[in-house]
Structure 1
Amino acid sequence: MKSSSYMQYGLVHIAAGDLLRAEIAAGSENGKRAKEHMEKGQLVPDEIVVTMVKERLSQPDSQENGWLLDGYPRSLSQATALKKYGFQPDLFILLEVPEDTLVERVVGRRLDPVTGKIYHVKYSPPETDEIAARLTKRFDDTEEKVKLRLKTHHHNVEAVLSLYEDVTVEVNGSVNKEDVFAQIDVALTNLLEQRKSALGSLAA
């Protein structure tokens, strides 16, 4: 998610995928196990992901400022684990995007290993030939593996939504990113206004 969309609200951005890739880069035992599943286009086992996410959500900055959890939970068991540990989102944002568009977006993305910036060969190409020459592609960003991940996602998403139906907001993710972020900003602003009204009522 665009940094300004959560930074302006003071939220801590926590991406489950980034936590996993950090473990893989570190060569940890959990990282090795995670990589085996990711290479097959499978979801990483819950016992690995849940532990990492729980530890990050428990850190002081997340507790004090609130959090925006990106790419998690992806299954009912993960959502149940969050609830078990006392982590309940006030808002669940569901991005609706056609599958063909998702495949194109993922297969075309590239990483600059020097700056950590994400590019896309079509939608956000690198600024210079020098940057283009050093870009890398994630090992699991192939069409075959993306479609496997999406198949698993579709199987799990309804169960996850059943826990969050009262706080779910659907966002059209097939439009340009500025419009996507505008929709999310409206949802977050409405949530904060509702909280202020509730606090005002209690104070009165």
Structure 2
Amino acid sequence: MDETVKPLRIPPQMSVYADTHGIFHLVQSMVSSLVIDQPDDPISYLIRFLQRSSVDIPKIMLLGPPAVGKHFQAKKLSAELRAVHVTTDSLLQDQSELGEQELPAELLSRLIQQRLNEVDCFNRGWVLEGIPQTRLQALSLQQVGVIPEHVVMLDAPDDVLLERRMGKLVDPLTGDVYHQTFTWQVDDVIAQRLVKDHGLSENQHLAELQRFRCEVTGLMSAYQHVLKTVNSNQSYTDVYQQALAFVQTHRRSRTPRILLFGRPGSGKSHQARLLSEKYKIVDVCCGQLLRSVAADGSSLGEKIQPYLDDRRPVPDPLVLQVLEQRLSQVDCSCRGWVLHGFPQDLQQAKMLQKSQQQPNRVFFLELTDDICVERLSLRATDPWSGESFHGVTRPAPNSQVQDRLRTRPEDSMQSVTDSLNQYRTHTASLQSVYPDAILIDADQDPHSVFEALESRLNTV
């Protein structure tokens, strides 16, 4: 083997192109559909797949207890998204031989699979109402390849659900459900033909409700990564808007290139470390990177070292050169990165925008100056290891480390005040460069901040 062969490097522009045009998501969708549907003619299948109006067709499940409003919301969502509304009744309308007995999970799954593979559902997507009802059904659906992109779980207190059952009215022509209190926006012609719903009796309703309560934990566990729970004990328009906003988000498979902004003390380094540890992406702290390059003895490091020695800002071109070298390495290109500490002003942001290393997720950690100062007063560094610790979020592991901790010069009150003033001066211009950046409330425990970041990593 020729040991002089250098490892393959992926040009940064390849990842940028793939992200811009959704290539990773497209390929993932194509391969997933092929493996699930296993068509006899894969090429024709993929051509038909690509000819659809959009790869992001709706694949939605709307779940919840009896009388929670599933039918109403599912019908509105399917109309808005132009997707096919699929119900248990519509599945069984041509299956009279099955009678009224409860269907085994395997049979129900096959019926649903057949329906969702028909041309209308394949091309337009689907909204599956009230199915599955049990974890066993959910697992059976997963086995036959019925996997939703979004699951909306409606819920409300039992007494509210009982009240809704008692006031339910049905349009005998369309099957639409109305309620004199909750959903009564209907014209006089329809109102005159509405009849009282004679579906479930009170005892049957309570039995169905009890069954749902027993199964809901398993259902939520089966779909936890694509699930949103919506409180249905509010106006039906508010419920609809929350459900619609959720199902209109789309998850993307993209190499993470994350940019974190925030005041000193907002937790950028801590959140970057958590992201790096969980998602195996490269944590790139600009300040640490400059110190590392300055210490490696390279010609570029020799240019940087005098600025660090004199505690002067390293010129922007040098900083960008160091960053581009680091972010173009194989680990960053393949696994992704989270960058913090750069850019700090408008000029630096524009320089980064013109480079090949553009972020695809930008977050601003929002915090007040007072809280930042309070946090920084508890921060110290171990001179032996160079690690930073915090009295609350990351305490020293033992008393020996605690005794040798020192406050860094940049954490002095004067330095912190200057840094906060500088950040405040440039925040508006930085946000103008990244208008789609997401604001995260950093005035909460680090775990909650991390959860907020996580929830927005793969959505657009």
Moved more, 178-187 or 99-108: 99-108
Match of 1:188 in 2: 457
Name the structure where helix makes up a greater proportion of residues: 1
C-alpha spacing 1:84/1:165, structure 2 compared with 1 (3 Å): same
Q: Which of residues 317, 327, 346 in structure 2 aligns to 1:57?
A: 327
Q: Aligned-pair distance for 1:137?
A: 2.3
CA–CA separation in structure 1 for the residues paired with 2:331 and 2:457: 19
Q: Aligned-pair distance for 1:104?
A: 2.2
Q: Which of residues 18, 31, 36 in structure 1 aligns to 2:305?
A: 31
Cα deviation 1:129-171 (Å, max 9, x = unaligned):
21112222222210111110111111112111111112x0100
Structure 2 unaligned regions, length at least 5: 1-270
Q: Which of residues 382, 395, 399 in structure 2 aligns to 1:129?
A: 399
C-alpha spacing 1:45/1:151, structure 2 compared with 1 (3 Å): farther
Cα deviation 1:15-61 (Å, max 9, x = unaligned):
112113335666844133135345xxxx5432332222122112121
Q: Aligned-pair distance for 1:2?
A: 5.0
Code of the residue aligned with 2:327 in structure 1: it is L
Is the 1:54–1:82 Cα contact (8 Å) retained in structure 2? Answer: no
Matched, 1:157 2:431: no
TM-score using structure 1 length: 0.79
Code of the residue aligned with 1:178 in structure 2: it is H
Is the 2:284–2:340 Cα contact (8 Å) retained in structure 1? Answer: yes
CA RMSD of aligned residues (A): 2.3
C-alpha spacing 1:105/1:45, structure 2 compared with 1 (3 Å): farther
Q: Give the 5 Å matches for 1:99-110.
A: 99-110=369-380
2:352 is paired with a residue of what secondary structure? helix
Matched, 1:97 2:367: yes
CA–CA separation in structure 1 for the residues paired with 2:278 and 2:352: 25
CA–CA separation in structure 2 for the residues paired with 1:115 and 1:25: 15
Is the 2:373–2:416 Cα contact (8 Å) retained in structure 1? Answer: yes
CA–CA separation in structure 1 for the residues paired with 2:332 and 2:392: 35
Match of 2:337 in 1: 67
Q: Aligned-pair distance for 1:122?
A: 5.0
Match of 2:438 in 1: 169
CA–CA separation in structure 1 for the residues paired with 2:295 and 2:379: 19
Match of 2:142 in 1: none
CA–CA separation in structure 2 for the residues paired with 1:88 and 1:57: 10
Match of 2:205 in 1: none
Is the 1:34–1:45 Cα contact (8 Å) retained in structure 2? Answer: no
Match of 2:410 in 1: 140
Match of 1:21 in 2: 291
The count of corresponding residues between Structure 1 and Structure 2 is 186
TM-score using structure 2 length: 0.37
Code of the residue aligned with 2:444 in structure 1: it is V
Structure 1 unaligned regions, length at least 5: 192-204
Match of 1:112 in 2: 382
Q: Which of residues 174, 178, 188 in structure 1 aligns to 2:447?
A: 178
CA–CA separation in structure 1 for the residues paired with 2:406 and 2:293: 18
